[in-house]
Amino acid sequence: MPGNAPVIELYDTTLRDGTQAEGFVLTPEDKLKVARQLDRLGVDYIEGGWPGSNPRDQEFFERAGELQLENAVLVAFGSTHHAKRTPDNDPNLAALLAAPAPVCALVGKSWSKHVTAQLGIELERNLEIIAASVAYMKEAGRRVFFDAEHFFDGLARDEDYALAVLKAAAEAGAEALVLCDTNGGSLPSWISQGVGKVAAALPGITLGIHCHNDGDLATANTLAAVEAGARQVQGTTGGMGERCGNADLCAIAPTLQLKMGYTCLSEDQLRRLTDTARFIREQANQPPTSFSPYVGTSAFSHKGGLHISAVEKDPALYEHVSPELVGNNRRYLLSDLAGRAALLKKLADWGFDMAPDDHRIKQMLDELKERENEGYAYEAAEASLELLVNRRLGGRPSHFFDLMGFRVADYKESEAKPPSSEATVRVKVEGVEEHTAAMGDGPVNALDRAIRKALSRFYPALSAMTLVDYKVRVLAGSAGTEARVRVLVESSDGESRWGTVGVSFDVLEASWQALGDSIRYKLFKTLQGG
């Protein structure tokens, strides 16, 4: 661990490089919200996008004055000027100057093969373009970071030219040289050696690192670069990005700070890391991360009985850092692998203070294992489990209504029109029966709408509840259409999310079980003040 280690600058490119990930889309309004969240987290630089390249980024920069950033500096990204233009008549550079960003990141080719094969120009012309672009932006009052695209590939194949590119940018006034592993195929030792060569050739200038994850080494490569002298770390929150993604700042920042002795966030800021990661995925309408280091919902989850028993004695026995340091929390998963310690901990969390030798503990464990043998899975459906435990141990009322019956019909009018679904349900609340129907996009959506429509007369709180995820899995053990199915439902009321489960030979029956539990859990928490 280095002594008196310097501060590492965090450069977040979620709003540009992150949005190049498949399925990761942010509207201009989303991007403004994410930028504010990143600013609260405490990153040093927020790359907002490429001005003029698309309407979304254009609108974001037009509205950037709404941000009022307190910690971060906004960066506009663009390329060096076109080979057939000069800096003063290049539309890309003009768009950068029009953007209200004090820093611009200019990307240029540093691999000779890209210069000749992709750009189709002479190597010397590329050096002229880089120097002229950097100098022009500097003279216009912008701070300039130069992104050396494909640097490590270029360094391995034409070292002299790759270094010449960096020298051209540095002599023209770039204040940081960002070394990019654009193809994401480098190894940590290559990165370390490459950064070392640049540090020796160009002493005194800030070096940055920008790694992609095509070899699943973006985090390791970034950390190796820091150890070799890089002082600006570029990445995305959650690792989103083109192809296999970018370096994940949610893994890099806590590792640098908690394990390597560097400083990049305050302790309070680091505790916002998990909330920030989940907020950004929510803005992109993606489910929360599960297995991501530090910030994933499973990052500090324990399932095995022996593990749970050990963690109860000393969390360090099975946790590399304390979850509270990064704003996460410890979870004990109840399953057929879980033991008495896990169940006791869950019961305490749910308000049941029970002795370890209480006979009901063994009864609950036996029932839990039997239900999982039938196909139920509670790791992602803790709301169903809490309701089950509450019923078995005589806790607070949690039934609220009875299902009297349901019917679902699908309609397909023609090849050109999508099918529609209608669900009819009958429910009873305290002796009063309600019979209603609803249309939906598919049978499960129709069933969900009909159930909540029938119950909203009795429980107005259900109006805030929505179904956000639905999964069906055919369970092994039975062949073909005779197989059981497990349905997992995730619901939200805008403030929290909860998961429920249902199992049946009939997918609609399994869906009803999961939906019924989901609604009951919302009522259980709302009406009981929990």
Distances (CA, A) of 389 to 348, 350, 393: 12, 9, 6
How high is the pLDDT of residue 2?
Answer: 45
pLDDT over 90 percentage in the chain: 71
Rounded CA-CA distance 15/11 in Å is 11
Q: Does the residue 87 lie in any domain?
A: yes
Same domain for 22 and 123?
Answer: yes
Give me the residue label for tokens 């699908």.
410
Same domain for 107 and 41?
Answer: yes
Q: Does the residue 215 lie in any domain?
A: yes
| Beta-sheet pairing, 497-504 with 485-492 | antiparallel
Q: pLDDT digit string (tens) for 182-240? A: 999 999 999 999 999 999 999 999 999 999 999 999 999 999 999 999 999 999 999 99
- Write down the pTM of the prediction: 0.75
CA within 13 Å, CB half, 449: 14
Rounded CA-CA distance 94/91 in Å is 5
Res. 377: pLDDT tops 70:
yes
Same domain for 100 and 31?
Answer: yes
Res. 338: pLDDT tops 80:
no
Give yes or no for a contact between 342 and 333, defined as CB atoms under 8 angstroms apart: yes
Please list the helix, strand and coil fractions of the chain in percent, rounded to the nearest 5, in that order: 45, 20, 35
The CATH number linked to 426 is: 3.30.160
Span 114-126, average pLDDT: 96
How high is the pLDDT of residue 143?
Answer: 98
Q: Does the residue 40 lie in any domain?
A: yes
Q: Which pair of structure tokens corresponds to residue 372?
A: 């999982």
Q: Which pair of structure tokens corresponds to residue 11?
A: 């450069």
Res. 103: pLDDT tops 80:
yes
Q: Does the residue 312 lie in any domain?
A: no
How high is the pLDDT of residue 1?
Answer: 42
Q: Which pair of structure tokens corresponds to residue 260?
A: 């390597």
**Lowest-confidence pick of 59-68, 163-172, 346-355:** 346-355
For residue 416, name the pLDDT band (cuts at 50, 70, 90). confident
Q: Does the residue 68 lie in any domain?
A: yes
Q: Which pair of structure tokens corresponds to residue 447?
A: 């069933």
The continuous run of DSSP H or E covering 449 comes out as helix 443-456
Q: pLDDT digit string (tens) for 419-451? A: 889 999 999 999 999 999 999 988 988 999 999
Res. 169: pLDDT tops 80:
yes
Span 404-411, average pLDDT: 92
Q: pLDDT digit string (tens) for 302-336? A: 887 778 788 888 999 999 999 999 999 888 776 55
**Lowest-confidence pick of 81-85, 312-316, 351-355:** 351-355
Same domain for 358 and 492?
Answer: yes
Same domain for 159 and 85?
Answer: yes
The CATH number linked to 516 is: 3.30.160.340
Q: pLDDT digit string (tens) for 470-481? A: 888 888 655 555
Among residues 233, 151, 145, 237, the alpha carbon closest in space to that of 186 is found at: 151
Q: How many domains does the chain have?
A: 3
Q: Which domain holds residue 231?
A: 9-265
Query: Residue 179 pairs with which residues in a beta bridge?
Result: 148, 209
Same domain for 119 and 44?
Answer: yes
Same domain for 405 and 372?
Answer: no
The CATH number linked to 219 is: 3.20.20.70
Q: What backbone torsions phi and psi does residue 51 show, to the nearest 5 degrees? A: -60, 135
The sign of the CA dihedral 153, 154, 157, 162 is negative
Res. 383: pLDDT tops 60:
yes
Q: Which pair of structure tokens corresponds to residue 208?
A: 């940055």
For residue 337, name the pLDDT band (cuts at 50, 70, 90). low
Give yes or no for a contact between 458 and 429, defined as CB atoms under 8 angstroms apart: yes
Under 8 Å CB-to-CB from 486, ≥6 apart: which residues? Answer: 375, 376, 377, 472, 473, 475, 501, 502, 503, 510
Same domain for 520 and 428?
Answer: no
Q: Which of 265, 289, 323 is the last residue of a domain?
A: 265
Same domain for 46 and 77?
Answer: yes
How high is the pLDDT of residue 171?
Answer: 98
Same domain for 216 and 365?
Answer: no
